[in-house]
Every structure is written in C-alpha cells, then in structure tokens.
Amino acid sequence: MGTSGGRRQPSQYQAFRWSCCICLLLLFLSSGGCLRASAAGPIKTVVVMVMENRSFDHMLGWMKRLNPAINGVDGSEWNPVSASDAASDRVYFRDGAHFVDPDPGHSFQAIREQIFGSNDTSADPAPMNGFVQQARSMSDNMTESVMNGFPPEMVAVYRALVEEFAVFDRWFASVPSSTQPNRLFVHSGTSHGATSNVARYSSTSAPNRLPHRLLATFS
C-alpha cells in the first residue's frame, strides 16, 4: 500500500494537473491520426491515444466512486495467494497505487496464469484468480502493484475525462499479451499470429488488413 508521503502537495498537484491537460490538448490539436466526419455530423474528430499495458481496474476501477454506473471496483474483489488452494489466504483489491512501477507480468504466459490460475484454459468463464499467484512468482513485492488501483485524485487527467466524457468499461485487449501484438491490432486489425514482441515488425512494415479507404483517412 502507498503511504501519505507519496501523495502530491496541493500546489504540485495543480501544476501536475494543468501540465497534463495542456499536453493532452496539444496532442489533440497536433494529432495526425484523426478520423474526421462530415461537417454535418455531430462528431468532428476522434483521437486514438494508445497507452501501455494496464488493466481497467488498475487505472479507472476506482472511478466508480465518481459514477456508480461504471463497472469498476469497490474493494470487495480479491485473489487467492494460491489459485490451486481453496483455503488459501486472500488479497483484496485496494486503492493504494501511486506509481506504475514495478511492471507486472504481461507476456502471453503470464496473462494466461493471471486469468485462469494455471495453464488449463478450459474454465468458462475464466476465474480471474491468478493475479496474486503470478505476481508472487516474480517478486514478493509485486502483489502490492497488481492488487492496488489508482484513486481518482491520483490520476487527475483521467478523472477530468471521466467526469466530462464517456468511459468504456467493457473494453478488452485484442491479444492477452504484451505491447506489440496489441499495437499491431490497432494499426492493422491483426497481429499476424504474434503473441509477443517481434523485432522484425519494429524495423519493417507490419501486416496490414485495414480497408484501403480507411487507410486513406489516416494518410
């Protein structure tokens, strides 16, 4: 759990909030990856901002405090220390996240264990009971990272966006895996079977399955 010493003072908090808002505004104005609707349409611009691997609950789960309709968290959620032990100790989800480090496991194998608690993927629905177990396999301190989310006041820009706009709370990664396969899906609609970061896709063009008409919109 985070300590009070990790929280920003009011003046620092305001400066941080405004600097982040300015950065987002500049990103919005300068983005070349915008879909523009016709002048008659109500939606003029759509900005797609792709960020790093973080779960909805970790970043936005506690926004449920601001809007109870959001499918977030309330602190009753938990994971066992051992997914295979019915009598295992429980670790409950809390709001003590202050940083994004250390980085939890997000390889295909790590996420499979987080979702299913083992290599057996036959459960339907998935039990989602292996997050603590997988984190402890990396580090004893990792549990604090995966079982804590950010309270709204710690992510000021996200809070402002949640309060002013809509939140997609049933949004899932295209591939339960690392960064690059999901980035490929954003740009190409496919990872071409990749479930991990592939070096050659960083230096050469990735496979592309987007319609030419849509691609022309981005050019």
Q: How confident is the model at residue 9 (pLDDT cuts 50, 70, 90)?
A: very low
Across 130-146, average pLDDT: 91
Tokens for 120, please give them: 């057996």
The model's pLDDT over 46-93, given as tens digits with 9 standing for 90+, comes to: 887 777 778 899 999 999 999 999 999 999 999 999 999 999 999 999
pLDDT computed for residue 208 by the predictor: 58
Name the pLDDT band for 205 (thresholds 50, 70, 90): low
Render pLDDT for 181-200 as a digit per residue (tens, 0 to 9).
888 888 788 888 889 887 76
**Three-state SS at 190:** coil
Report which residue type is found at 132.
V
CB contact at 8 A, 54 and 100: yes
Question: How sure is the predictor about 129, in pLDDT bands with cuts at 50, 70 and 90?
Answer: very high
For residue 59, the model assigns a pLDDT of 92
Q: What's the CA gap between 37 and 207, in Å, rounded? A: 27
Helices (H) and strands (E) in the chain, counts: 9, 4
pLDDT in tens, 13-47: 344 444 444 455 555 555 544 445 456 778 888 88
Residue 11 has pLDDT above 60, yes or no: no
What per-residue confidence (pLDDT) applies to 44?
Answer: 83
Question: Do 178 and 107 touch, CB atoms closer than 8 A?
Answer: yes
Give residue 214's pLDDT.
Answer: 42
